[in-house]
């Protein structure tokens, strides 16, 4: 009898262990916590890009990316007072999502196959084009191909300089910098000859430094600005895409683009971008 009870107890323990294992497996299968249903959100934005993401002297953030983030968060049911904006750089965006410092990233975050292995992208919420900025009096650089032999600013974590020197195989001399605000400062003090990145980024700086720089207006790429969320949050991705669609359909996107870039010479696209899909 004792042996029978011991055997029965062993089977019971095994059943409990199996049930617990299945329960844990089911929990892990649900993937990361979704942004859907959250009451508060931490959103990563740039802090030093005029017109897109800029931290003001009072500590608040302003720009196109910031306004789009507020719109999307509202569609997710999050009140503006329950949003915390967190400054990120091109080099820290993936890490901020992976370690949970932020729930979403709106930071001129171009969708690329390499980045898609680390995060899930909603959107794009805008399609920009890479262009080149030079000093106002420089007439020698009229297109990206004129950067051969020139000193080009290269921001850590950005793909823009790679499109020039690797994708287009243009032999520019790279000058590393931590941010595009530093690149513009280097351009003005003649440490570099050019800054090449998305036209919206350049337009924001050009509007602020109107006397010292100019954009050559020779675009050569399509930069799909995605909304970065934690890898695997497919329901969050779908909710974000619905919000972006609504933003264009109700006219908000056109209003925001005009608000931040209407005084520039850029041709702004107010049509709903073609989404990447969340699968």
Instruction: Tally Cβ neighbours within 10 Å of residue 264.
Output: 17
pLDDT class for 104, splitting at 50, 70, 90?
A: very high
Q: Which fold has domain 130-215?
A: D-Maltodextrin-Binding Protein; domain 2 (3.40.190)
CATH for 41-128+223-261? Answer: 3.40.190.10
> What does the mean pLDDT of the chain come to?
88
pLDDT confidence of residue 30:
47
Which residues lie across from 195 on neighbouring strands?
133
Provide the token pair at 7.
């055997």
pLDDT confidence of residue 116:
94
pLDDT class for 133, splitting at 50, 70, 90?
A: very high
Lowest mean pLDDT of 15-19, 30-34, 47-51, 82-86, name the range.
Answer: 15-19
| C-alpha span between 196 and 183 (Å, rounded) | 10
Using alpha carbons only, how large is the chain's radius of gyration in Å? 23
List, as own/partner pairs, every contact residues 244-252 make where C-beta atoms lie below 8 angstroms and the sequence separation is at least 24, other chains included: 244/72, 244/122, 244/123, 244/125, 244/272, 244/273, 244/275, 245/272, 246/75, 247/68, 247/71, 247/72, 247/125, 248/272, 248/273, 252/71
Q: pLDDT tens-digit profile of 204-239? A: 888 876 668 999 999 999 999 999 999 999 999 999
Closest CA to 182 of 172, 197, 163, 168: 197
Lowest mean pLDDT of 105-119, 138-152, 176-190, 199-213, name the range.
Answer: 199-213
What is the three-class DSSP state of 99?
coil
Residue with the bigger pLDDT between 275 and 3: it is: 275
- The answer to whether the 41-128+223-261 and 130-215 domains have the same CATH topology is yes
Lowest mean pLDDT of 125-134, 174-183, 188-197, 210-219, name the range.
Answer: 210-219
What is the three-class DSSP state of 110?
strand
- pLDDT of residue 3 exceeding 80, the answer is no
In angstroms, the Cα distances linking 216 to 201, 222, 267, 272 are 14, 17, 14, 27
Query: What's the whole-number mean pLDDT along residues 155-184?
Result: 94
pLDDT class for 240, splitting at 50, 70, 90?
A: very high
pLDDT class for 173, splitting at 50, 70, 90?
A: very high
pLDDT confidence of residue 24:
36
- Domain positions in the chain are 41-128+223-261, 130-215
């Amino acid at each position: 009898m004792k042996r029978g009870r011991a055997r029965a107890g062993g089977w019971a323990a095994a059943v409990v262990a199996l049930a617990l294992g299945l329960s844990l497996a089911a929990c892990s299968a649900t993937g990361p916590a979704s942004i859907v249903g959250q009451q508060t959100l931490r959103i990563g934005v740039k802090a030093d890009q005029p017109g897109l993401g800029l931290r003001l002297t009072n500590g608040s953030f302003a720009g196109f990316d910031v306004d789009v983030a507020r719109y999307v968060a509202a569609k997710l049911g999050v009140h503006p007072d329950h949003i915390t904006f967190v400054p990120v750089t091109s080099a820290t965006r993936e890490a901020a999502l992976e370690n949970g410092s932020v729930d979403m990233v709106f930071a001129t975050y171009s969708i690329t196959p390499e980045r898609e292995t680390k995060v899930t992208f909603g959107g794009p919420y805008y399609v920009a084009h890479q262009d080149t900025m030079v000093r106002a009096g420089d007439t020698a650089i009229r297109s990206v191909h004129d950067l051969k032999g020139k000193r080009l600013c290269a921001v850590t974590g950005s793909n823009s300089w790679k499109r020039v020197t690797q994708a287009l195989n243009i032999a520019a001399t790279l000058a590393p910098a931590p941010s595009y605000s530093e690149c513009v400062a280097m351009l003005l003090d003649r440490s570099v000859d050019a800054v090449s990145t998305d036209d919206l980024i350049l337009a924001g700086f050009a509007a602020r430094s109107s006397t010292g720089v100019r954009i050559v207006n020779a675009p050569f790429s399509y930069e799909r600005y995605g909304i970065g969320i934690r890898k695997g949050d497919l329901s969050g991705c779908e909710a974000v895409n619905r919000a972006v669609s609504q933003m264009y359909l109700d006219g908000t996107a056109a209003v925001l683009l005009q608000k931040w870039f209407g005084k520039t010479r850029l041709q702004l696209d107010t049509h709903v971008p073609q989404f990447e899909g969340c699968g």
